[in-house]
Structure 1
Amino acid sequence: MAIAYVALGSNLGDKKKNLQRALMLLMQQGVEVLQVSGYFATEPYGVTDQPQFLNAVCRVRTNLEPVALLRTLLATELAMGRVRLRHWGERNIDLDLLLYENVVMQTPELTLP
């Protein structure tokens, strides 16, 4: 089992509920959520003509390898109806793999840390 950290963000709909639903869906897929930070509001980056974000970070335990965990995060976004209309644009959910143990890697699909 590995420890990883995942960033969560939302700036559409019920932002807090979106973050909570994402955590629930991850747990249903076998990702053990160990700890969740407080929620904090941030201004959008890059594309500023959109609502503020609500963000959090969670510490998880998983038996998935890094790329498999990333794919699980992306599948969770899709299951929640995320649509990518523009780069850095609005989204109901955004899940980013920040750290995975002490793994350092760079592939076309994933860069850690």
Structure 2
Amino acid sequence: MAKVYVGLGTNLGDKEQNLKVAVQKIEEQIGKVVSLSAFYITAPWGFTSENSFLNAAACVETELSPLDVLQKTQSIERELGRTKKSVNGAYSDRLIDIDLLLYEDLILSAVTPSGAELNLPHPLMAERDFVMKPLAEIAPELVHPVLGKTMRELISSFSPQ
């Protein structure tokens, strides 16, 4: 069993329900959700919107490969109504976003047969407090495989809000 950490976010519709359904679908399609953070209200990152986000992080035990996890998370996003992905840093409002943050301590750059890119660990995770706060809540001693710092150490670099 591999431990996979995912980040979840939504800023449209019934946000709390969106996250709860996404977690339920992850449990059904990917593996056992062994920990789930609190839900955090955050400002949009990388674009302007009147809609705040609700973010969370989860740890999932899975027997799936990293690429299979990515394909499942993208399938869940589509199932929950997400029709387009962010491309080249152009972000927009979304019903659900599920990012694969870490898969064990794997460092990987790959492309799925459908053309989706997977980079592990997630290349922007340590820059995003909306990812790091929930992740540090559920896995404070987890070490980032590239940066060599714990999630607690990484979150301490953010200024208080």
Normalising by structure 2, report the TM-score: 0.67
What pairs up with 1:1-113 in 2 under 5 angstroms? 1-84=1-84, 87-108=90-111, 109-113=117-121
Asked if structure 2 preserves the Cα contact closer than 8 Å seen for 1:50 and 1:89, the reply is: no
**Hey, what's the Cα distance between the residues in 2 that align with 1:100 and 1:32?**
14
Gapped runs of 5+ residues in structure 2? 112-116, 122-161
Task: Return structure 1 stretches of 4+ with deviation > 3 angstroms.
Answer: none
In structure 1, stretches of 5+ residues that fail to align are none
Secondary structure of the structure 2 residue equivalent to 1:73 = helix
* Structure whose residues are more often helix by fraction: 2
Query: Partner amino acid for 2:119?
Result: T
Relative to its length, the structure with more strand (as a share) is 1
- The 1:94/1:85 distance shift into structure 2, 3 A limit, reads closer
| Distance of 1:85 and 1:112 partners within structure 2 | 18
CA-atom RMSD in angstroms: 1.3
Name the amino acid aligned to 1:76.
Answer: I
- 1:4, 1:49 → 2: CA distance? 30
Secondary structure of the corresponding residue to residue 54 of structure 2: strand
Q: Secondary structure in 2 aligned to 1:75?
A: helix
Query: Residue type matched to 1:110 in 2?
Result: L
- 1:50: Cα distance to partner? 3.8
Query: Amino acid of the residue matched to residue 105 of structure 1?
Result: L
Question: Which has the higher relative contact order, 1 or 2, with Cα contacts under 8 A spaced 6 or more apart?
Answer: 1
TM-score normalised by L of structure 1:
0.94
